[in-house]
Structure 1
């Protein structure tokens, strides 16, 4: 996978999405999640953010990544470029081999970043946008305002 990702990054490829992309409609915050390889998210994530492009305007994007060594890598910069008008907010990077132990970081993050105003222990995450669609599960992270 890493070799493929490096090849796609070197050629600035835009792999096609196999499924219909979810709509950000009904969401103010988007959390694009993926792994970072070779210091940036796989190019399919750029396909995703560019495809949604202007539909992410006025939304907040919070990147979420797993990684081996590079943290968020260049995802914040990359999403800022592919999400014009979106605000890029603080992302969450979890080292791949520590995912099982990341509970405390992932549980307090929504409170600290304002993703939820619920009191600890009372948060019930919304799994679908208004209207009942579950497409938003594949969308992540708010972007910093340019």
Structure 2
């Protein structure tokens, strides 16, 4: 999971080091937007890195991470899920690409109209991430 965040934050041009915040240190507009989106959230942890705010939290039966700009705009929202909960056609396409590997993490970006899935696989010391769209088409495969 740490490798995913390194990749995601690096893709935004951000250094990997994050600073943990108390809820009252988060701008009111970000805090307000968060609770409008996730009124039932609990176990909330806030982090900031170069002005990008990250909320890690639990909501109902899942955990998620959401990234905000200082003005409250959502950059990305990832829901952590189980491989078995992915649509069957997505699993079928992904498994062609990951024979012999085990699943480490499954993230779902549901914030946009077309959900995307990011799955991290491991085989011994080798890790890679596969990203695919809701139809199961593989968009990228990156060794990490």
| TM-score normalised by L of structure 2 | 0.28
| More strand per residue | 2
Name which structure has the greater RCO, CA cutoff 8 Å, separation 6+. 1
Structure with a larger share of its residues in helix: 1
Question: Which has the greater radius of gyration?
Answer: 2
Q: TM-score, normalised by structure 1?
A: 0.28
